[in-house]
C-alpha cells in the first residue's frame, strides 16, 4: 500500500522558516537540511507506521520522526491511505500541541 503524504499549511510554513534561518549563514546547508527532511517524509508513503507513536498526544495515529535537529510530527489516516504532516519542530523547543485532526 502506498499512502499519500499531505503537508499542512503550518508545516510548510515551518519548513520555509527553517530554510530561511539556515540560508542566512549557509545556503548549502539549508538546501541539504530541507532535502533530508523531504526525503525522510517521502519514506512515509510506504512505511507510515515505521516511526514511534507520539505518546503525549494520546492518539495512536499521531507519530513522529527525527531528522537531524528536527522532529516531524504527522498523523496517519489508515482508512484513507493518507498522512498529514502536522509540524516540523526543532528538537530544542518544548513539546508541540498537535491539532486534533
* % the chain with pLDDT above 90: 79
Tell me: the pLDDT tens digits for 18-60?
A: 999 999 999 999 999 999 999 999 999 999 999 999 988 888 8
Cα separation, 28 vs 83, in Å, equals 29
Bridge partner residues of 83 (DSSP): 5, 76
What is the pLDDT, as a whole number, of residue 101?
Answer: 65
Which bin fits 81, alpha (ψ -120 to 50), beta or left (φ > 0)? left
Residue 99 phi/psi, 5° resolution? -65, 150
DSSP annotation of 3 reads: P
Q: Annotate 65-100 with DSSP letters as a single string.
A: EEETTEEEEEEEEGGGTEEEEEEEEETTSPPPPPP-
Cα separation, 79 vs 67, in Å, equals 27
Walk me through the domains of the chain, giving residue ranges and CATH numbers. Answer: 4-90 (3.30.2310.20)
Amino acid at each position: 500500500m502506498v499512502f499519500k503524504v499531505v503537508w499542512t499549511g503550518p508545516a510548510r510554513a515551518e519548513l520555509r522558516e527553517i530554510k530561511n534561518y539556515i540560508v542566512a549563514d549557509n545556503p548549502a546547508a539549508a538546501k541539504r537540511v530541507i532535502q533530508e527532511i523531504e526525503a525522510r517524509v517521502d519514506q512515509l508513503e510506504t512505511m507510515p507506521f515505521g516511526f514511534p507513536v507520539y505518546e503525549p498526544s494520546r492518539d495512536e495515529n499521531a507519530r513522529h520522526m527525527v531528522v537531524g535537529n528536527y522532529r516531524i510530527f504527522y498523523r496517519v489516516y489508515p482508512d484513507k491511505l493518507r498522512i498529514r504532516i502536522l509540524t516540523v519542530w526543532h528538537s530544542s523547543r518544548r513539546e508541540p500541541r498537535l491539532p486534533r485532526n
